[in-house]
Structure formats: structure tokens, C-alpha cells
Amino acid sequence: MAYPGGQLSEEKVFKDPVHRYIHVRDKVIWDLIGTKEFQRLRRIKQLGTTYLTFHGAEHSRFNHSLGVYEIIRRIIDDVFVGREHWDHSERLLCLCAALLHDLGHGPFSHSFEKVFRLDHEDFTQAIILGDTEVNAVLRRVSDDFPKKVAEVIAKTYPNKLVVSLISSQIDADRMDYLLRDAYYTGVSYGNFDMERILRVMRPREDQVVIKRSGMHAVEDYIMSRYQMYWQVYFHPVTRSAEVILTKILHRAKKLFEEGYEFQTKPVHFYSFFTGTVELQDYLQLDEAVILFYFQQWQHERDAILSDLCRRFVNRHLFKYVEFNPTNEQMTKLIELTGLFKKAGIDPEYYLVVDSSSDLPYDFYRPGEEGERLPIYLLMPNGELRELSRESVLVDAISGKRRTDHKLYFPADFIYDFSTKRTTKKKIIEILEG
């Protein structure tokens, strides 16, 4: 590598509550962390609106990105170095890809991307390849280095072993976020023995595999992931906040399209509303900016926008009931829609079905949507075996998609406010029914 300075004169360390210390010896890593595009991740929460459910979860994507980097560094420097199948000249590439894999995330990206039909992965590519500080640092390694880093993150890089370190069913990304999100929320489910897993990872030609002796640690990791999804990531209160967030963005867009005159003009949103987002627009929109607008919009004349913003800012969320999309329930939903309209509550914004769905683990099912690389165990005789064929536990949940539907609505409007009495009664009957 021609990178000027290659190694730092003295290793730098970050104190990290999850991995204890994060070690940086490579100047390029140090310089990447110092770029404004990477520092921007400090203003984007790792778990979006989850802090409204688990107050401890206020950590940022900056935090997580350093963690993923550190895991990869340990795998390479402590486990892979010197082993067959591992090409140590890929080391820096892996470290950079790990550090930058979430670079394109925007504010509250889950909802934001859905509303504006964007994909943070495109922006990750754009930042790495575009006219940015990150690109300038990467180019100092070599002209084609940004492209390689982008390819690893996009999973198109030829060396699939490298790709699988960053994205697979047991990659550094998942390991860090499970541990980190468990730490910050305070739930104990996310814990598993990462140190053990790292020790039993082995490089193979086109992917990372796990020594059979570490199977139980992997089982535990899969169970942790399963529990974190349902206990934390899909928590109905968090989804309520996401629903409101989504509706705010929809409403603002609609008002903008209708020529509504904002008191606080959505300058930062223009290009999003019109579908003409440039990289620089995107980079300027972090969660501080979003929160600034939401706070201002509490005072807009439009009743729906201001109400939704007040709900979000002050955490007056929607309540929910179970909702299974059966014919019967769909009929009730249609009836409710009518009743809401009658009561003067716009169902477009105030009656929302939200679904969450997770596939805890799956082996390869050719031809199916979302084919996923399975986890392979390296047996004592050198053979590879797909995890669910060895593990009773994993087999039990493999390929079993679980889905949960809930119906969200503003309980306060219905119970507290003076809507017409009979309408109110009927609504309550259906919701509590």
C-alpha cells in the first residue's frame, strides 16, 4: 500500500462499552473516521425511534460502525492471519468496508426510505465513489480502492470470502448490533459468546465457515437474534413511533404538493419531495435537522401536520390492537375507516396497519426471493455441513417466517375527545372487540 504514513506512529484506542477498546493502527482508518461524512453518523441513531420505547437506546450509527470495524479487525488479526484461504493483502479493504458499510444511512432510515423510495445502500455507494472526504482518503490507498470498497459493501466483489465477513447470516455487522443494541437497551437477550465465535471462524475459498466445536455458540447467536427482533426491533411501541413519523413525512409532502404555505419552509426536504435528491442534499439531512423541523411544525396551521409532530416530539404515540388480515378483520377495517371519517378523524393518517416479519435463519432455497447464504459448519473430517442439518434448535426455526400485524390509532382522540357519541361507541366496540 502506498498510503502515506501507512501505520500511525502510535496505536490509537477508543474506549468502547461493548468491545472495551477499539484499536486503530492504520492511518487510513484514522483518517476515514475523521471525515465529515463519517462524523455525520453521530447524528443518526442506530435504532431510529427505539429510544422512545427503550430509553437507553440513544446510541448512534457512528458507535456501531466502529464496532463492526473492530470485530473484523480481530477476526483478521487474531484468527485469520497466516491461515490457508486467507489473502492478507485484503486486510485493509475489509477494515474499510466494515467501517463504512452503513455510511449511507439517513435519519430514521427505515421510514424515511420507504416514504421517499430511497435506498441507503445507493448513498453508501455514492459517498464512497463521489466527491467526498471519504473518497479522497480512500483514493490515497490506490485509484481503484474506493471502487473495491464499494464492491465489497455491494456484495459484488469477486472474493466472496471478503464479502461474507461483512454480509452473511453471521457477519460482523449482525454480531456488533446484537451485542450493542442489547447493551444500550439493557435487555439481556442479545448476549452471546462472540469471543468464542470469532475463535472458531475459519476462512474458506468463498466464505467464512464455523468449526463444528463452536456450533452451540452459533445456536445461541441465532436465538439472540430471534429474541432481539421480537423483543426490541419490532416492539409495537417503536412501530407506533415509526407509523407517526411516516405519516408526518407523507403529510408534509402532500401539503408541499398542494402548495400549502409552511411557516417553517421545508427547505431541506424540497429535493426529497420532488424526487431530485443529490448527494449533498442527502448528507445535510440528519436527525437533528429532522427534529428541528418537527419541533417547528408543531406550530403549523395544518391541524394534521401539527398534531402528528406534537405526538412525535412529546411521545404521545398511537395505541394498537392485534390485527390479522382475515376477511372478517378486513371488513371491520373498512367499517372503522368509515366511522373515523364520520368522527372527523382522517383515516389516511390515523388508522394504520403495520406488519413486521422475520425469518430467523434460512438455508439456501434456490429460486426463492431473498436467497440467503447458509451458515456452514466445518466438521472434524474437513467436510462442510449446513447448520440446520446439525442443530436441532436451528432446524426447528429454520425457514419459519413469523409475521405480526397491528392496527394503530390515536386512542386519545377516540376516548378523550368529544366525538359523536354513537360513532365513538361503535369505534370502541370494534377496537376492543
Binding site for its own copies (CB under 8 A): 13-18, 20-21, 34-36, 39, 42-43, 51, 54-56, 58-60, 62-63, 66, 183-189, 191-193, 195, 199, 216, 219-220, 223, 226-227, 230-231, 284, 286-289, 291-292, 295, 313-316, 392-393, 395-397, 400, 402
Instruction: Please state, in angstroms and rounded to a whole number, the distance separating the CA atoms of residues 343 and 304.
Output: 15
| C-beta of 151 vs 181, nearer to its own copies | 181
| C-beta of 113 vs 220, nearer to its own copies | 220
| C-beta of 129 vs 393, nearer to its own copies | 393
Question: What amino acid is encoded at 199 in this protein?
Answer: R
Strand order in the sheet with 384-386: 201-204, 207-211, 376-378, 384-386
**Terminal CA-CA length for the chain:** 67
Question: What is the rounded (10 degree) CA torsion for 21, 22, 25, 27?
Answer: -140
Contact yes or no for 8/25 (Cβ under 8 A): yes
Cell of residue 298, nine digits: 408543531
Q: Helices then strands (H, E): number in the chain?
A: 23, 9
| C-beta of 5 vs 56, nearer to its own copies | 56
| C-beta of 62 vs 157, nearer to its own copies | 62
| C-beta of 219 vs 302, nearer to its own copies | 219
Query: Nearest distance from residue 232's CB to its own copies, in Å?
Result: 9
| Long-range contacts at 331-334 (CB < 8 A, ≥ 24 apart) | 332/430, 332/433, 333/407
Query: Nearest distance from residue 288's CB to its own copies, in Å?
Result: 4
Query: Nearest distance from residue 54's CB to its own copies, in Å?
Result: 6
Q: Which of 87, 102, 103, 96 is nearest to 145 (CA)?
A: 96
Query: Nearest distance from residue 168's CB to its own copies, in Å?
Result: 22
Query: Nearest distance from residue 284's CB to its own copies, in Å?
Result: 7
| C-beta of 18 vs 255, nearer to its own copies | 18
How many C-alpha atoms does 21 have within 13 Å on its Cβ side? 6
Element (H, E) at 67: helix 61-74
Query: Nearest distance from residue 86's CB to its own copies, in Å?
Result: 17
Query: Nearest distance from residue 185's CB to its own copies, in Å?
Result: 6
Cell of residue 321, nine digits: 390492537
Sort residue 379 into left (φ over 0), alpha (ψ -120 to 50) or beta: beta
CA distances (Å), 421 to each of 333, 346, 350, in order? 20, 18, 19
Instruction: Please list, in sequence order, all residues whose beta carbon lies within 8 angstroms of the beta carbon of residue 295, skipping any fewer than 6 positions away.
Output: 309, 313
3-state secondary structure of 282: helix
Using only C-alpha atoms, what is the Rg of the chain?
24
| C-beta of 191 vs 356, nearer to its own copies | 191
Instruction: Please state, in angstroms and rounded to a whole number, the distance separating the CA atoms of residues 269 and 281.
Output: 8
| C-beta of 35 vs 124, nearer to its own copies | 35
Query: Nearest distance from residue 67's CB to its own copies, in Å?
Result: 10
Contact yes or no for 409/351 (Cβ under 8 A): yes
Query: Nearest distance from residue 25's CB to its own copies, in Å?
Result: 13
Query: Nearest distance from residue 24's CB to its own copies, in Å?
Result: 13
Instruction: Please state, in angstroms and rounded to a whole number, the distance separating the CA atoms of residues 64 and 56.
Output: 15
| C-beta of 62 vs 350, nearer to its own copies | 62
